[in-house]
Amino acid sequence: MGNLLDYLPEFLLGATLVTGLIWVYDLAVWRPRRLAAVEALDSRTPASERDGDAYALARDEILREPPLMEWGGSFFPVLAIVLVLRSFVIEPFVIPSGSMIPTLEVGDYILVNKYDYGLRLPVFGTKVIEVGAPARGDVMVFFPPHQDRYFIKRVVGLPGDVIRYGNKRLMINGEAVPAEVIGPATPADPFMLAVEEQLGDALHTIHVDTGRRERVREWRVPEGHYFMMGDNRDRSDDSRSWGFVPEQNIVGRAVAVWMHKEPGLAWPAFSRNGMIE
């Protein structure tokens, strides 16, 4: 099971529906009754008495919305706007693990474009308008096939691709992905290397652990699915272990880091702000 934030879309949709129903019921039923009661008050109050405090108080009491209706009417527009923006335009996320180091670090707050890959119904994920599709090299947020919580990885394999990986080398459709060793990733670990990799239009840095050996494996990506890998190649739980991401599980494309905060009582920092490559 995911954490509470993973269920925010369901909560937001439910709250919007409930407050919307309250607002509609008030508009269709209770408000006409209040207006009719004001007309009845006017009909039995002489014109000479309508400037008095008693009339004003009686009129205000009739027009006052019940607390439930006032609550629904106040929250519904705000929730509806947030639901539309979050579902169809852009959504904030926080990075919980180190699987995308060095591109993304634990504590990075990112923005995810929900529009680039098509407009989808909130919660259900059904695409209603075609806009575009994931490109090789994109950093994508999605639901993996085995868990109901958000993951973020890089798109490596597109539908129909043959992916081959072993000995720290990535091949796609029989061609080696361009990669060049930059040097040690950290002085504390001589086996961890920083490698510059070109995936599609995305030139980015990955980390590989030369101290870990692995057998060569190969996958053919089914239609309507994607093969995902973390930039921290030897410390990432990705498609190599749990398989392919179905198209309907896509959430959006990660586009920018807007804040970073270390765990605990640390102040937010903005030195890592920028577009995600």
Name the active-site residue from 99, 114, 168, 239. Answer: 99
* Phi-psi region at 45: left, alpha or beta (left = phi > 0; alpha = psi -120 to 50): beta
Query: Which tokens hold the place of 30?
Result: 């209770």
3-state secondary structure of 44: helix
Q: How far apart are CA 140 and CA 107, in angstroms?
A: 17
| 153 has catalytic annotation | yes
Query: To which H or E segment does residue 196 belong?
Result: strand 189-199
Q: How many helical (H) and strand (E) elements, i.e. helices and strands, does the chain have?
A: 5, 17
Strand partners of residue 110 = 93, 257
Tokens of residue 268, six digits: 């937010």
Active-site pick, 114, 153, 168, 239:
153
* Residue 207 vs residues 97, 101, 138, 165, 201: alpha-carbon distances, Å: 15, 7, 17, 15, 19
251 and 143 Cβ atoms separated by less than 8 Å: yes
Half-sphere exposure for 231 (CA within 13 Å, toward CB): 28
Q: What is the dihedral of CA 149, 154, 160, 165, to 10 degrees?
A: -110
Q: Which active-site residues does the annotation give?
A: 99, 153
